[in-house]
Structure 1
């Protein structure tokens, strides 16, 4: 798996007292969609600013594309939006993107191609000043894609958008990812990360609390919802099972919530109970949501 970005023991201290990034180490691999998740002030934007060469690090190292390229040249292979889009209001979407092409030495043919990806082809001749916030953000993504970057970095891409605007940006991120572009997305919205990312990095006060797949974070053991004609018999059979940690009665509707200490498949649990002469009326295996896992992580540190 090709490594696009490596960060090793990165630190950023502001005014000798605010430790914004603490000894952070991570790797970003080609072809994945990474969500950097954390509350405001967790160090997400500072970390992105450092690797994009707009914030000075205090100590530590980072390298792009396996360290084979100097940062200045490497950033030509990166697309990024880390601030509000900054275009000329009196110019059209097409003219604004052509200006970016001119500055960066990119062929104008890319303009129509990228406007198509973000769904703005029909508005290419409209002035930027007439655009909604969501359209402005989509134009910014088109601009960041003009150089066909190998990785696209987005800092809070849906901030301030209405539900429709959020949905459109998510669809665009999925489309870009499906075309093979690696994406690094900073967000404080758990729902956003769960819906579009393959991997998640959880930061709190500049420290890494979790790094791995979204599935790996949400699938941790999980829990069962069970219901049977005889609740007490069901309960006592479950208490004797080695993989079960605790049993909780759910709000008086006859369901039991069964939490696990080891992974257990629904088929195996059903078979075990059947051998104990218990027939289930209801059996569902649920996984913890990203939100539950995130809160557990950040509250325990």
Structure 2
């Protein structure tokens, strides 16, 4: 699988005190949608700033396209929106994009193609200042795609949008990905990552807590909800099982979290062997949200 971006042991320290990015390493491969997920202040924007050459790193390395070309030339193959769209308000959408084409030496023919992709072709003669926030964001995406980049980088692409605007941007990201563009987006919204990303890097206070596929994060071992007459004895016996990581009692039910696979029938048999008969047994999966909370709370 072709590597688009490789980050190795990246660090960023501000004012000798704030360690914004701590020893971060991950890879972006062609054809996937990657999410950098984390709360505000987790180092997402700093990481994007470093690889886009607008923030200086403190230490570590990163390379574009396996180091085959220098960063300056590599960035010509990257489309990025890391700040609010910055267009001329009294110019039309079409004129704004033509100006970008002039600056970047891109054929004007790309303007109509990208406006159509983002659903703004019919509004191309309207002035930018008449656009809604969602339309402005879609125009920014069109602008970032004018040079047919190999990777599109988006920092909190749905921030401040209404539900309809959010859905339009997410649908657009899926369309762009299907057409073969690799996407890297930073978000604090679990829902966003779950809906549009194939892979996720979870950050907290600059540290990476998880990296891998979204499906992999969701295919955790899950947990059991169980009940019996003597809950104290039940908890004691369950905790002695080698597959059990931890237990807690919530709403008169014992929640049993696993560190390795354990079928429901095997647990039932184990408890029966210890003279415990269950009155309630349900196996559940952790949602991405529960996974994320477990990850961030454990660190």
TM-score category (smaller protein)? 0.7 to 0.9
Distance 2:137 2:266 in 1: 49
Distance 1:217 1:284 in 2: 21
Instruction: Give the match for residue 12 of structure 2.
Output: 12
Instruction: Give the match for residue 113 of structure 2.
Output: 113
Alignment of 1:1-301 (within 5 A): 1-224=1-224, 243=243, 251=251, 259-264=257-262, 285-301=283-299
Distance 1:249 1:72 in 2: 56
Gaps of 5+ in 2: none
Deviation at 1:34, TM superposition (A): 0.7
What CA deviation, in whole Å up to 9, does each residue of 1:58-98 have, x standing for no partner?
A: 11111100001011110010000000000011111111111
Q: How many residues align?
A: 293
Structure 2 CA distance for partners of 1:9 and 1:110, relative to 1, 3 Å: same
Deviation at 1:223, TM superposition (A): 3.0
**TM-score normalized with structure 1 length:** 0.85
Distance 2:257 2:24 in 1: 33
SS in 2 for 1:27: strand
Distance 1:244 1:136 in 2: 50
Aligned-residue CA RMSD in angstroms? 3.0
Distance 1:41 1:264 in 2: 37
What CA deviation, in whole Å up to 9, does each residue of 1:125-146 have, x standing for no partner?
A: 1110000101100100010011
Structure 2 CA distance for partners of 1:249 and 1:85, relative to 1, 3 Å: same
What CA deviation, in whole Å up to 9, does each residue of 1:154-182 have, x standing for no partner?
A: 00000111111111110001111111111
What CA deviation, in whole Å up to 9, does each residue of 1:24-74 have, x standing for no partner?
A: 111111111111011111111111111101111111111100001011110
**TM-score normalized with structure 2 length:** 0.86
Gaps of 5+ in 1: none
Deviation at 1:281, TM superposition (A): 12
Distance 1:92 1:282 in 2: 64
SS in 2 for 1:148: coil
